[in-house]
Amino acid sequence: MNMSVDLDQTPRSLLVCDWSSFLDDKNRVSSQVEQLHFNYKVSVLLPECSSAPAHLDSVLNSFSSFYLIRNLPIHELLDKQFLETAVYQGSVYGLSYRTRIDEDNCVALMPNGRLSLSLDKDSYQLLGVEGKPSRFSNRTNSRYVISIDLTDNSMAPGGRGYLRLLTGLMSRLHLTTDFLLSHHPGGGASLQPLLSRYDWSEHRPELHSHALTHLSCPELQSCDPHSFLEWLGAVDADISCENSSISFLSSLVCPEPKTTLSRVLRVSICGLLLPQDVHRLIQEIRCYLEQPQLESWLSLTVHGFVDSPVSWGGREHGVLRGGENFYTLLMFHDHTYHLHLATGAHDTCPP
């Protein structure tokens, strides 16, 4: 078999680093948390800890539920009652489920009321609504992106723009997909009229924890960001960085200089995770770090959905080899932090 993918080249990636303090009024943490809308995993690394403290555990277990609607016609997102009770009243997070951004039609409904459709060329032409070629499409423009503000006056039910999109989705394209949906602060009550018309299920985010012992850890103040993130990713994926001569699975090593942590707790939570819940977790971690006789740091990594049509804000997201869009927050007891924002080959630079 002739392998056409050039595997000896490392895919391009982007990494933005920010070192600051939570005490600085101009710190970027809150804005960055809010801009990554579609989070599927949060990982926390607690050094010199064997079980999650009660307050942290309480926050992790109170992450918002989300809903999976099976075979949802996308025109239902234009339903007048849904717009009035959910989209106009709060923050709705909606994302097509198990659709691939490089092959399938993908849909995202953002908390600011903007609807993003990433469509193949045939679907785009059938829909008949103006959009733009994907930034990451090839020369033949095989993919198009449509971005529509559902809160704009032109998209009010009965208006020309509204009717054009509704007619396209009901009469020509018939776009249907499994769909993840969540709402803040209304929760399921504001979504119930829509849910009641389809096959749906409610889900709680899945929480996992794992205790590690005798973990090699780089000196964080001197370790460069790329090496630190590589080490942290290996720890999160349970890949050894000892580079044992009897192991052929990994050649990763812990960056020098390094220390050894006698015990470490790795906690992760997975699902459709809202930025508001991530923000509460960060605030609780800051309180936790203020306690005496604790290790002086803690890390939190938030991963965006690989196949989301958007990454930060309304920026287009694309996948070819990786699809990464994540940030890592390394927090210290003196309220300082290192913020690392990373994307893969098919993304614009994080804000």
Per-residue model confidence as pLDDT tens for the chain (351 residues): 344 444 445 556 788 899 999 999 999 899 999 999 999 999 999 998 878 888 889 999 999 999 999 999 999 999 999 999 999 987 899 999 999 988 899 999 999 999 999 999 999 999 999 999 988 776 667 889 999 999 999 899 999 999 999 999 999 999 999 999 999 887 778 899 999 999 999 999 999 999 988 888 888 877 888 888 988 988 888 777 666 555 555 567 787 878 888 899 999 999 999 999 999 999 999 999 988 766 689 999 999 999 999 988 888 887 666 677 899 999 999 999 999 998 876 677 677
Nearest C-alpha neighbor of 193 from the set 82, 72, 78:
82
- Contact by Cβ (8 Å): 286, 44: no
Give the span between the Cα atoms of 99 and 317, in whole angstroms: 13
Strand partners, 37: none
Taking every pair of Cα atoms in the chain, the longest distance, rounded to a whole number of angstroms, is 69
Give the span between the Cα atoms of 248 and 246, in whole angstroms: 7
- Contact by Cβ (8 Å): 216, 280: no
Nearest C-alpha neighbor of 327 from the set 110, 91, 39:
39
The C-alpha angle with vertex 209 and arms to 207 and 211, in degrees rounded to 5, equals 180
CA dist list (Å): 248 to 201, 232, 241, 251: 42, 20, 12, 7
pTM for the complete prediction?
0.91
Handedness of CA 302, 39, 17, 10 (dihedral sign): positive
For residue 257, the model assigns a pLDDT of 79
**How is residue 156 annotated by DSSP?**
S
**What single-letter amino acid sits at 76?**
E
Residue 162 has, within 13 A of its CA and on its CB side, a CA count of 16
Q: Count Cβ atoms below 10 Å from residue 81 Cβ, excluding itself.
A: 11
For residue 246, the model assigns a pLDDT of 55
State which H helix or E strand residue 314 sits in.
none
